[in-house]
């Protein structure tokens, strides 16, 4: 196993949840819990909570991420936020290409690629999400779908830049549904992603990439999932909204 070659990261994806006072309370509760973690700890929060999160986590082991970023540097893009705007306030990570953005907001592999490159150019660490639909899994084309997403989403990303990319494998049918991929299914696809990266770049670089699983990961199933040889932590929706649950996941990934 090559797990020691890369960092396991548990990243919370708060989605469209938590007002500022609620965010404050959750982060304060999380701080002493996260302190014990030896895995990477990231919370990706709505734009309105970014400054609060950066402020409150200063001097702790919790890093802050955004949930999206635009690919242009500035200009007439009403409602959008640029990568420089994020780094300027101390944000370090950004989720890109989450299936909810692909499904509801017209995100395509082309825009995921543009956002990923813009994020990297600004010094942000993108968490690039890939995953198959239930129908695609049933048609036995999971690997084709994933390989295509990896190739397109990382088009023109250099080997050097890949070191700052986190991949999240999130089967769309497992997100927010309570249906988790089995540990075997998660391992199979995460290993396939690593093999695809090895072909596109090199084995050495692929071995160093953090590949998370995401989709209904919770305190009950986390330990088994993160113990898989190619699963390096998780991207967590629902279970990131309760400090105690998130704490169990951090412990699992720290031991995984």
Minimum gap (Å) between residue 139 Cβ and ligand PGA = 23
The interface region with ligand PGA, picked from 20-28, 108-116, 185-193, 209-217 by CB under 6 A, is 209-217
72: left (phi over 0), alpha (psi -120 to 50) or beta: beta
170 binds ligand PGA, rule: CB under 6 A: yes
45 binds ligand PGA, rule: CB under 6 A: no
Minimum gap (Å) between residue 170 Cβ and ligand PGA = 6
Has 170 been annotated as catalytic? yes
Q: Judged by CB under 6 A, how many residues of this single chain contact ligand PGA? A: 13
The candidate with the shortest Cα–Cα distance to 171, out of 132, 126, 208, is 132
Q: Which is nearer to ligand PGA, 102 or 194 (CB)?
A: 102
CA-CA-CA-CA torsion sign (138, 141, 142, 148): negative
Task: Single out the catalytic residue among 67, 70, 98, 107.
Answer: 98
Q: Tell me the residue nearest to ligand PGA as measured from the CB.
A: 237
* CA–CA gap between residue 26 and residue 154 (Å, rounded): 34
Residue 150: count of CB within 10 angstroms of its CB: 21
The interface region with ligand PGA, picked from 51-59, 79-87, 106-114, 213-221 by CB under 6 A, is 213-221
Q: Which of 46, 65, 126, 214 binds ligand PGA (CB under 6 A)?
A: 214
Q: Which of 111, 149, 196, 216 binds ligand PGA (CB under 6 A)?
A: 216
* CA–CA gap between residue 160 and residue 137 (Å, rounded): 32
**Apex CA 163: angle with CA 160 and CA 165, to 5°?**
120
Q: Which is nearer to ligand PGA, 39 or 201 (CB)?
A: 39
Has 251 been annotated as catalytic? no
**Cβ distance 173 to 133 under 8 Å?**
yes
CA-CA-CA-CA torsion sign (75, 78, 80, 86): positive
Q: Which of 8, 120, 150, 236 binds ligand PGA (CB under 6 A)?
A: 236
215 binds ligand PGA, rule: CB under 6 A: yes
Residue 191: count of CB within 10 angstroms of its CB: 15
65 binds ligand PGA, rule: CB under 6 A: no
Catalytic residue numbers, as ranges? 98, 170
């Amino acid at each position: 196993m090559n797990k020691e070659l890369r960092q396991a990261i548990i990243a919370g994806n708060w989605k469209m949840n938590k007002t500022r006072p609620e965010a404050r309370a959750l982060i304060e509760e999380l701080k002493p819990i996260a302190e014990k973690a030896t895995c990477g700890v990231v919370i990706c929060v709505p734009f309105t909570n970014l400054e609060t999160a950066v402020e409150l986590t200063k001097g702790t082991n919790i890093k802050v991420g955004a949930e999206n970023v635009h690919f242009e540097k500035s200009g007439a893009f009403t409602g959008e936020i640029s990568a420089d705007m994020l780094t300027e306030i101390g944000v370090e990570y950004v989720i890109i290409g989450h299936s909810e953005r692909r499904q509801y907001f017209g995100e395509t592999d082309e825009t995921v690629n543009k956002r990923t490159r813009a994020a990297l150019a600004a010094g942000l660490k993108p968490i690039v999400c890939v995953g198959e639909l239930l129908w695609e899994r049933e048609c036995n084309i999971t690997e084709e779908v994933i390989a295509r997403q990896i190739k397109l989403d990382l088009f023109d990303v250099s080997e050097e830049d890949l070191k700052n990319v986190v991949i999240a494998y999130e089967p769309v049918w497992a997100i927010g549904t309570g249906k988790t991929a089995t540990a075997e299914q998660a391992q199979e696809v995460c290993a396939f992603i690593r093999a695809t990266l090895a072909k596109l770049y090199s084995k050495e670089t692929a071995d160093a990439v953090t590949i998370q699983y995401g989709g209904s990961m919770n305190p009950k199933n986390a330990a088994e999932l993160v113990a898989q040889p190619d699963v390096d932590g998780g991207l967590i929706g629902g279970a990131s909204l309760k400090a105690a649950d998130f704490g169990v996941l951090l412990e699992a990934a720290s031991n995984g």
